[in-house]
Structure 1
């Protein structure tokens, strides 16, 4: 969490919406028993999203990414576990669902909490540690204390991956993984848990997920081999294994048992099926584009929600079994955000492989432009709104049409070590680009092609940010070599250089264009004189970590910063003081923009999240 001394006295920004979902967390998407809320992790936060209208609430308390989540049968509690650095303990938080507060916080596992499961009557929570830990612990929810614990696997080669509680008995649960499948019984008087190994004969499988039939007769085990084992819970003997012919490609990631007894199965290749629990024959089937990582049943199972590793959520009805896409997000770090000039209605984000356009008032994806196996480092809307210019790690500049996503122009070999920063002139006739080797290049757009006007080489390292003056005659570039250079775009010469012992990540012109502000790895916000490059003032921008993104309002009265401390900060430009702080990001903030009418602030982060905030200072009339 953020440093509290830094944020206590300052008013907090109002968060309006979050776009994102940690689709990599297996079984991370849940439906609360009240049927009203979806519950899922995003970075270090747990999000509660009302199904009816999409309204979101946030549970903050983890210090690192959430690794697993569970909801108690009665709906009173939510439990979430996290990852931590090697050598450090990883927290389990039990949340009071009604109050939206932390009920208990327990700390025994090393480095990672792998899985969590509540007992049927909300008496106990069982937690499983990750590979560096390997222990199972039973917690008494009422006393908030550990009852007992045990190594999860009988031998060191075995690695436990999942745990599931019985549906009827608070003293029975099952664990499984690589080389281990065990039924455990809690012996409360002696404070012990006693395991019984299940016998699967010659069948050797790595179990990724388990589900127990409603009557507690059978354990269904989804395996990395793509088949499902059915094991008798009482005897621990293998009853059957299937499907016989076509196994699930890339393994079975997640299983759910329906009231009818049939199974919902999600595979690593994106296959989602309804199959019979007697012979595993497929009854209904849908292909989704990435691995199915979550299946959440709503109520009796007439409706269910499916999450994928592509950070997508789908809604299904039992009868139709058709995928309805209800939410999308980036499944890797967002590199940049740009707001369409003048309209403040559209904004664009870029990440690995794709550029996405969003409507600012509705967290809904309008368009996706994909370039397979490439990473988009930076993007900008041209001032007329007719094109998006984008910088890619394969050394190309690509220009797209924002309505259709059509590729309008490619500039090959624009920069040798990838294009790392880009900006378009106000007259829409030129592009300024920066690259990994420190070159700055100016391109003229000539329908139907382009022409390189000049290459300017003074930076010694990656160009991280480019801003162009309103008259298109000058620009400023920031670089990780510790210099910001102001360039003459008429004579193509450097006019001024500012130097600091930092790796500059971001730079802005004040709207009156007599000053610059910069941010970088030294955690400082610095003001500079444009004409002589002298330092005017320096502020402590962050107590921990680099400042990665910065933007300034059109009236020049306020600016915003974001960085590795995960805090969005709104500053008074003249006073040099923080007026508001936004605490909600779970990953390092990568970029930040204020829309031109000062209504909305958009920030993006390394965990793939896009956050929309209400900007606290209305534009001066």
Structure 2
């Protein structure tokens, strides 16, 4: 049960492609990220990735008006109906063609999907359970080219569809007698957006060449007349050219096709549109196309975005320019406005940016950007609160694990960052790069305060910092040397030579001043930092060394080699204690251009990243595959395998050759499309990991570049092609009883609580091991009885109780109550816990993480209160004569100030 890790969050990527949506209350933005969907809460500044995924990248998202349902459609037209309340998949559906846009009607009863040149209207899934959630109502034909956008009237009676053939079509959602369809022209380019005015049939259409057309209808919404008879029309004769439409009933729904315009019923006046005005946006050249548009009906504000990263705010119908700003140097792919009209969300697929702009105060509400290229490395801070990542774009980003957001980005490196790590203090980040520098960043002042370089330019591919944080080492991939610097002075201390191949990985022992280095020369060398930096031991490997890591207690060494093996060594005796053959566990998929099977391809694959768990009992391994494996070190066997992605938009995902991609000339990926001179095919070179970025169709290959366990042992993270994936233990779903007996029942636990037998009630609750029951028992114990209960608790339950207190302290509001539990457990059982420091270290780090988080929040609050109290005291002094009531208030304020300072002192003592 301790390996029941589940997908928790996706960091490092905030937007890829598709349309943005705001939640019903307007406080959250829903963004498609690859084949997943992330929800960013702008009020609480947190992010969450839904635990659902499609088989390919998501292209459009439709949100129901009540905000409870979402329809996710991928590149192939496969759709998922997802509940945003339970985060569960309710229905699978396939449209069989790529879908351009999807939109629910305002009353939530219908939704329209546009694919190719047809608009399909479906009955929206209701509250009742149905066999088929998507029931086709009508099919609308009219445009000659692909449809691009949809908008509904406020009363859900009509909808409008824009097309690439420069036309806009208005369709009736019901069988109206005076409006079946209406076609509008007036544009010279692709229609990007079409919008109805509030409570009206008046229209605004925006095209890609920066033209806005305003259309005025001669009929109000109330003037639409329902058609009485629904008889099938007679079949058309060859000479009949005056029919208005052709309607036919089919099994899948009603089909409406546009024909030459002529009224069918003379008694009802047809809806007519008049071209009221045309406006043009200021452009800076042909490259500056209009790419996205959104309209907020209550405030009459139109937002238009351009390929140069500029966006405009206009008030309609007068076309008054309110605001114009450049927020990016890349094309803005999507735009959305929240329900109140205050916030505007922008998505830039080229840079992976997601921005939320408050246009009235002209400030950013939310501004996040992922790594532009692949992530190369990650590291956890000592308390597990932060994760630092380095990418091929040369950026170093720091992420908060609680909120899932990046709060600082360092851009000093000029080339790919190959490795990052935290020092033991948790406030200094060290990064190595191919630009020939190793840099140290301060998390207090957010600056680069040290830059380490070598005498000759070298590309650093590996990095390690010792337990004290004083020694910084980096390995070069071209000169086969290891460089050592002092963190305090920044001086180069020593250059360690001896390896005959590139240094692939470095790791310091957590308990001794010994550096382990793995190299392609099939050796692992142990360097003694105290004895003139000499080689202490040389461990011979069976193949090239790719990764090396120490166990948290420093008594074991794990090495991953090129032949797919993980070998375990005793660093004291330099003897091998075991090995795991993990080649068959990788199960790599075949790439599109591969000419051999995935099974044969797997023989050349290996693990490139290793990490021990917090307790040292298992090791996490990943490589050039979609699988991450957890091995038990003692038993040397595979415990669990995680599939990090099911996204077929990545290369090397499929195990077998897809017959649909086979032609008479061979695989479709190997056939030249005639894009160039016909000299050859764009096939990636052997050994190239990242693909050819210059080719027309670039598919990134799925791989895991780095893995790390959290110091608390509750989660692990992996940098992959998708982004930074976090897997954590979901305690509410894990039933793991301890020493269970027939007498251990909730009834017997409640009986002990009624008898005020606190110790026996706690022991029984921890034997049953249900979170809600443990929390109930713990919070029933009187505050003054906590020291007595902690003193008489059996030793075996002390560590379990301390871990549970650390978990509760992170989310509970009973701060002082749980702090009292933690303080008494540590004070009364400190010596016994010290003897088992290796096994209890993850629990203590989880406790430290919880206390540190509350300390940061409380210190800000106390500082804020102190300034408020001083301000109030200064105001009272300005008023002149103090009344007795004022003096009493000032005494109370000074008392509150002393209490806030006392609470901060208590938190500092606990830390």
Report the TM-score range of the alignment, normalised by the length of the smaller protein. 0.7 to 0.9
The equivalent residue for 2:152 is 166
The equivalent residue for 1:4 is none
Flag structure 1 segments of 5+ consecutive residues without an equivalent.
1-8, 84-88
Summarize the Cα distance change of 1:11–1:614 in structure 2 as closer, same or farther, 3 Å threshold.
Answer: closer
Summarize the Cα distance change of 1:169–1:534 in structure 2 as closer, same or farther, 3 Å threshold.
Answer: same
The equivalent residue for 1:68 is 60
In the TM superposition, 1:112-261 aligns within 5 A as 113-128=99-114, 134=116, 136=118, 138=120, 140-141=122-123, 143=132, 144=134, 154=144, 160=146, 162-167=148-153, 172-177=159-164, 180-183=166-169, 185=171, 198-200=184-186, 204-214=188-198, 215-221=200-206, 223=208, 225=209, 227-230=210-213, 232=215, 239-244=277-282, 250-258=288-296, 259-261=298-300
Which moves more between the two structures, 257-266 or 450-459?
Answer: 450-459
The equivalent residue for 2:612 is 552
Query: How far does residue 349 in structure 1 lie from its aligned partner after superposition?
Result: 1.4
The equivalent residue for 1:409 is 451
Q: Is 1:421 aligned with 2:462?
A: yes
Contact 2:3/2:640 (8 A) holds in 1: yes
Contact 1:549/1:562 (8 A) holds in 2: yes
Report the TM-score when normalising by structure 1. Answer: 0.77
Q: Deviations over 1:462-517 (max 9, x none)?
A: x54332334343413265x9x563354633698233234xx865432334556443
Flag structure 2 segments of 5+ consecutive residues without an equivalent.
126-131, 217-271, 590-605, 648-701, 732-799, 804-837, 841-911
Output the CA distance in 2 between the equivalents of 1:260 and 1:172.
20
Query: How far does residue 257 in structure 1 lie from its aligned partner after superposition?
Result: 1.1
The equivalent residue for 2:540 is 497
In the TM superposition, 1:383-532 aligns within 5 A as 383=424, 387-403=428-444, 404-411=446-453, 418-426=459-467, 428=469, 430-437=471-478, 439-445=480-486, 447-450=489-492, 453-459=495-501, 464-470=504-510, 471-477=512-518, 483=522, 485-488=524-527, 490-491=533-534, 495-500=538-543, 506-511=547-552, 515-519=556-560, 525-527=566-568, 531=574
Output the CA distance in 1 between the equivalents of 2:42 and 2:441.
34
Partner SS, residue 596 of structure 1: coil
Q: 1:283 aligns with which of 313, 318, 322?
A: 322
Contact 1:488/1:495 (8 A) holds in 2: no
Contact 2:506/2:515 (8 A) holds in 1: no
Output the CA distance in 1 between the equivalents of 2:627 and 2:535.
38
Output the CA distance in 2 between the equivalents of 1:441 and 1:497.
19
**Max Rg structure:** 2
State the superposition RMSD in angstroms.
4.4
Contact 2:117/2:147 (8 A) holds in 1: no
Q: Deviations over 1:570-612 (max 9, x none)?
A: 5543234566777776775432222334355333332333536
Q: Is 1:591 aligned with 2:706?
A: yes
Contact 1:199/1:236 (8 A) holds in 2: no
Contact 2:9/2:49 (8 A) holds in 1: no
Query: How far does residue 62 in structure 1 lie from its aligned partner after superposition?
Result: 0.6
Summarize the Cα distance change of 1:260–1:444 in structure 2 as closer, same or farther, 3 Å threshold.
Answer: closer
The equivalent residue for 2:900 is none
Q: Is 1:339 aligned with 2:324?
A: no
The equivalent residue for 1:620 is 839
Q: 1:81 aligns with which of 70, 73, 77?
A: 73
The equivalent residue for 2:80 is 93
Higher relative contact order, chain-length normalized (CA < 8 Å, sep 6+):
1
Q: Is 1:298 aligned with 2:338?
A: yes
Output the CA distance in 2 between the equivalents of 1:20 and 1:149.
41
Query: How far does residue 119 in structure 1 lie from its aligned partner after superposition?
Result: 4.2
Point out the structure with the larger helix share: 2
The equivalent residue for 1:5 is none
Q: 1:377 aligns with which of 418, 422, 427?
A: 418
Contact 2:14/2:369 (8 A) holds in 1: no
Contact 1:140/1:146 (8 A) holds in 2: yes
Q: Deviations over 1:261-315 (max 9, x none)?
A: 2212334444344212335442134543455444433323244444455555555
Output the CA distance in 1 between the equivalents of 2:137 and 2:301.
35
Query: How far does residue 248 in structure 1 lie from its aligned partner after superposition?
Result: 11
The equivalent residue for 2:635 is 575
Partner SS, residue 335 of structure 1: strand
Equivalent pairs counted in the alignment come to 581
